[in-house]
Amino acid sequence: MANVPWFSLLTMVTISATLSFMADAQDCFGGIETFEKMVSMSFSGVVSYKSMLQQPGQAITRDCINLCKQQAACLSFSLNYTSSSCISYNVNSVGRGDDIIVAKAVNFYEKICFRGVSKQAFDSACRDRLWVFDRVREAYLDGHVDKETKNVRTKEDCEKLCITEERFRCRSADYDEIQHICRMSRETRRTKPNAFRVAPGSGRNYLENQCAPPPPASCRYETKQDATLLTPDHLQFAASATDCMDQCDAETAFNCWSYSYVDNRCQLSGDSSVTWGKDVTLPSHPGAVYGELKCFFEQCD
């Protein structure tokens, strides 16, 4: 080793560090692999992709997630709800924020890995959730911080802290990727909509825990005629619009916030105007019924 030139040692160290980072980012051996979702987002065309599935007229969220799970090279995928198709990427969003763009009726799903969490604890908290966090880049909940932890290395570490928090029900977190701070809260953008901030360039990530039980609330569905879902995650038969609404209430694979019913077809979605944006235009369909869950929350526990 004494005869190895210093620049060779430097090269070896650099390669070792790079491989270690890549393994940490892509290999979840010994950890729990799951997904987070970004609504109305996708990689731009500069990122190479591979077609994964296309089934026109169907809801394919579960199928796309399962296909990505089965492929080690699939680190993320975009789901186009208009064409009912998904494409996979062999990279994730880490270090590629500039390549993520706004895309209507498209959601971006990314593999995340939780290390140091027992499968029993994870299954107890998240059950059969298809994805466990909704993420909004360059956004945060202003105030309402129940716990702040510094020197948190990654966004996934912050999400893990939220999932495993025992002192209170962590329903959302704010990860500051510049200062490496994780701020956790029992509130969300739904319980405190006026506290939700979009802050371009802040390096902050709003992370909404899809496994946390909702706080006490009084909820009802607001309906709209001749409109359907923008991002249907599940499609099944229903005898009536009321039956479809009941199926939304009973859904366990994701938090169902909206539904649409037409011709005995019941579409359910984990999104709503809160995630799409209040100015969104829903697809029109004569005879369809669209319902969105509106809740008035009591004090969060």
User: Any idea where the domains of the chain sit in the sequence?
Assistant: 31-209, 218-296
Residue 7 has pLDDT above 90, yes or no: no
Domain 218-296 belongs to what topology? Hepatocyte Growth Factor (3.50.4)
The helix (H) or strand (E) run that includes residue 242 is helix 241-250
pLDDT recorded at residue 6: 45
Find out whether 39 and 189 touch, Cβ atoms under 8 Å: no
Q: How confident is the model at residue 299 (pLDDT cuts 50, 70, 90)?
A: low
Residue 12 has pLDDT above 70, yes or no: no
pLDDT recorded at residue 278: 86
* CB crowding 85-113: b at 16 or more within 10 Å, else e: bbbbbebebbeeeeebeebebbbbbbbbb
How far is 105 from 82, CA to CA, in rounded Å? 6
Proportion of the chain above pLDDT 90, given as a percent: 87
pLDDT recorded at residue 215: 87
Q: How confident is the model at residue 298 (pLDDT cuts 50, 70, 90)?
A: confident
Query: 93-138, pLDDT tens digit by residue?
Result: 999 999 999 999 999 999 999 999 999 999 999 999 999 999 999 9
Residues 6+ apart with CB under 8 A from 38: 100, 107, 108, 109, 110, 134, 135, 136, 137
Residue 245 has pLDDT above 70, yes or no: yes
Proportion of the chain above pLDDT 70, given as a percent: 90
Specify the residue for token string 């709503």.
272
Average confidence (pLDDT) over 44-49: 95
pLDDT recorded at residue 43: 98
Query: 148-193, pLDDT tens digit by residue?
Result: 999 999 999 999 999 999 999 999 999 999 999 999 999 999 999 9
pLDDT recorded at residue 300: 59
pLDDT recorded at residue 26: 63
Residue 279 has pLDDT above 70, yes or no: yes
pLDDT recorded at residue 288: 98
Average confidence (pLDDT) over 262-287: 97
How far is 131 from 35, CA to CA, in rounded Å? 5
Average confidence (pLDDT) over 203-221: 95
Ranking 18-27, 155-164, 239-248 by mean pLDDT, the lowest is: 18-27
Specify the residue for token string 């210093």.
6
Taking residue 70's Cβ as centre, other Cβ atoms within 10 Å add up to 8
pTM of the entire structure?
Answer: 0.90
Give the chain's mean pLDDT: 92
pLDDT recorded at residue 27: 85
Residue 5 has pLDDT above 80, yes or no: no
How far is 88 from 68, CA to CA, in rounded Å? 7
Average confidence (pLDDT) over 271-292: 96
How far is 287 from 128, CA to CA, in rounded Å? 33
Ranking 67-76, 167-176, 210-219 by mean pLDDT, the lowest is: 210-219
Domain 31-209 belongs to what topology? Hepatocyte Growth Factor (3.50.4)
